[in-house]
Amino acid sequence: MPSLVESLGNFISSIFHAFTAVLGSIVAVFQSILNAFLGVIQTAFAAVGTAISGLAQTFEGLVKFLLSNIVVIGVLVAGFAGYTYYQRSQGRAVTTNKKIS
C-alpha cells in the first residue's frame, strides 16, 4: 500500500503533467495558426512569381516571333511607306474610300 507521501508526490506529478500538456496544446494551436498564415503568404508569393514568369515567357515569345518575321514586317512597312509616298506624289491624300456621314 502506497504511503501518503508517495500518493501526494504522484498527485503533484499528475498536476504538473496536466499543466505541461495544456501549455503544449496552446503552443500547438498558435503554431498551427502561424503555419497556416505563412502558407497563405507563400502561396501568394508563388502565384505572383508564376504570373511574372508567364508574362516574361509571353514577351519572350512575342520578341522571338517579331525577330523571326522581321523580313516580312520590314517588307510590309516598306510597302506601306512606298504606297504613302506614291499617293502623296500624285497629289492625293492617303485615305480609305469610306463615306463619312
Say yes or no to pLDDT of 40 above 90. yes
Q: Is the pLDDT of residue 96 over 70?
A: no
Give the pLDDT score at 97: 65
Report the predicted TM-score, pTM, of the whole model to 2 decimal places: 0.52
End-to-end CA distance of the chain: 113
- Residue 53 backbone zone (phi > 0: left; psi -120 to 50: alpha; other: beta): alpha
Structure confidence at residue 92 as a pLDDT band (50, 70, 90): confident
97, three cell numbers: 474610300
Average pLDDT over residues 67-85: 91
For residue 10, give every residue at least 6 positions away whose Cβ sits within 8 Å of its Cβ, in sequence order, or none.
Answer: 2
- Rounded Cα gap, residues 12 and 19, in angstroms: 11
3-state secondary structure of 99: coil
